[in-house]
Amino acid sequence: MEHIGTLKLLCRYPVKSMAGENLQEARVTFSGLLGDRVYAFVDTNNKSDFPWMTGRQGHDLIRFRPHWVESLGTEHAIPFTERYTIDVHTPDGRQYRVTEEEFAKYLEERFGRPLRLRFSERNMTDSRPISIIGMSTLHALSQETGIELDPRRFRENFYVEWKDKPAYFEDELVGRELQIGETVVLQIVKKDGRCVMITLDPETAQASPQIFERVSRAHDGCLGVYGAVLREGIVRVNDPIYAV
């Protein structure tokens, strides 16, 4: 196996389209990181094939911050349902249990949409279980756009420091297998097609449209890649990454 990089940041997003959390370690299952995007709100008036309420429809949603009531660690492969208890802190200083009816009503009033909460132990990702991007890619895009880009904009699971590889190197990995750490194996299956979410500042939700415009024009609308999980296990920050 060839050592091609190191896992530098590891991120999980307990509620779809809300703020994420940085982790030191995580259990990787066939459906993705344990606890990633296990809650999501559906717009019940949206009859399209993408009915989720996300930052696309309400930019401010990315400023809501979920917190586990009891830490969801790596010790259990199949945690009991009560371990998935989450409180959410709102931008205006309120706090709700994510499952409270009052929270759904608060969101409906704030965003002007009828919403219904969904929970699934199988992650409700947009495309594939795991998303990956290179730190060199983010640096290059910062230079291209003239904006210092916070990695949180891109809502990836794995942020990788590639070893002696150029920016956008991850695009070359489509179709290949990677091992992260001691056990986890992924197959990189496709590039990550982007939307207006990457234009939103994670602190203010203010949009910078030129970011999406640059990705669309120069990178075919894609940034980062998606992986399917071939072998489950635990990954940790600073784990080596190998091309199998």
- What pLDDT does residue 124 have? 96
* Neighbouring C-beta atoms of residue 134, cutoff 10 Å: 26
pTM (2 d.p.): 0.96
The mean predicted confidence, pLDDT, of the chain is: 97
Q: Which domains does the chain have, with CATH numbers?
A: 2-243 (2.40.33.20)
Asked if 160 contacts 134 with a C-beta cutoff of 8 angstroms, the reply is yes
pLDDT of residue 211: 98
Q: What is the pLDDT of residue 175?
A: 98
Task: Output the pLDDT for position 240.
Answer: 98
How do residues 114-141 score in pLDDT, each as one tens digit? 999 999 999 999 999 999 999 999 999 9
Instruction: Give the residue among 37, 195, 46, 13 at the shortest CA–CA distance from 112.
Output: 46
Q: What is the mean pLDDT of each run of 10 residues along the chain (244 residues)?
A: 97 98 98 98 94 96 97 92 96 98 98 97 95 98 97 98 97 98 98 97 97 98 98 98 96
Residue 227 in contact with residue 186, Cβ under 8 Å?
A: yes
- As given in the structure block, the two tokens for residue 168 are 């956008």
